[in-house]
Amino acid sequence: MQVQSPPNPPTPILLDTLPDIPFADNGCPRRARVQIDLLLLAIEALDLGGSEALLATAKELELQGVVKNRVALWRLRSSNPLRRYGSQRRELTQLEAKAMVLIACSLARRLTALVRQLLLAAQQLNEKELSFDHHFRLAEYLERFRAHFRSRMNPKRAAVMLYGSDDKLNDLALNLLRQLLFCTGTAGAQRVWFSLFDGEVA
């Protein structure tokens, strides 16, 4: 008697809120893969318990079929071509990218007050020509982001070399905070999703 394999679980309805982008292989271009991972890196630097918060949010959003566990999450994020260990890199499907964006936006919404506070602090310190060390929480975020970036990205990549100084990494970290704030607005996930492919689709 032939044993039939169980049917594939249905795609979570939440993923349908982000439209498919027409690419030949249904995968994600380099820019999108980099940007998604950097947004998650910024969230981790805001001290949310790192990957545990990402996995917990995946479960809350019923996306654990895509982001199954810590190893699966690491593999998805390793699709970022700037990361170390390029021999283990894989492509990122649009379904997987949608799940990552929805997780990032959900966490960003919870962090709205903190993100606004840090951006306001950075603006005020710049206006007074003071260093970011004058605001403990902002300095802590920037230090954590720099450490995460340097430990996880391949220093031999030209795009990584562009961020060789603390100042360059601080600028990147603050820009990512602005993008996280972008995630929290009306239709934030949809706007972020389309921004990842801006200029990629003819």
Identify which of 38, 73, 82, 35 has the alpha carbon closest to the alpha carbon of residue 53: 73
Are the C-beta atoms of 39 and 104 separated by less than 8 Å? yes
pLDDT of residue 6 exceeding 60, the answer is no
pLDDT in tens, 16-27: 889 988 875 667
Give me the pLDDT at residue 186, please. Answer: 80
pLDDT of residue 176 exceeding 50, the answer is yes
Q: Which two tokens stand for residue 119?
A: 């951006």
Give me the pLDDT at residue 117, please. Answer: 97
Q: Which two tokens stand for residue 116?
A: 């606004």
pLDDT in tens, 83-109: 987 555 678 999 999 999 999 999 999
Give me the pLDDT at residue 185, please. Answer: 81
Residue 67 corresponds to which amino acid? Answer: V
pLDDT in tens, 45-98: 997 787 789 999 999 999 989 999 999 998 999 999 999 875 556 789 999 999
Helices (H), 46-128: 51-60, 70-77, 94-110, 112-127
Give me the pLDDT at residue 119, please. Answer: 97
Give me the pLDDT at residue 3, please. Answer: 46
Identify which of 53, 71, 50 has the alpha carbon closest to the alpha carbon of residue 61: 53
Spatial distance between the Cα atoms of 137 and 70, rounded to a whole number of angstroms: 28
Band of the pLDDT at 7, cuts 50, 70, 90? very low
- Work out the mean pLDDT of the chain and round it to a whole number: 88
Q: Who has greater pLDDT, 11 or 6? A: 11
Question: What mean pLDDT is predicted for residues 149-170?
Answer: 95
Question: What mean pLDDT is predicted for residues 157-166?
Answer: 94
What value, to the nearest 5°, has the Cα angle with vertex 191 and ends 11 and 81? 75
Q: What percent of the chain has pLDDT over 70?
A: 89
Are the C-beta atoms of 153 and 82 separated by less than 8 Å? yes
Give me the pLDDT at residue 5, please. Answer: 45
Give me the pLDDT at residue 10, please. Answer: 57
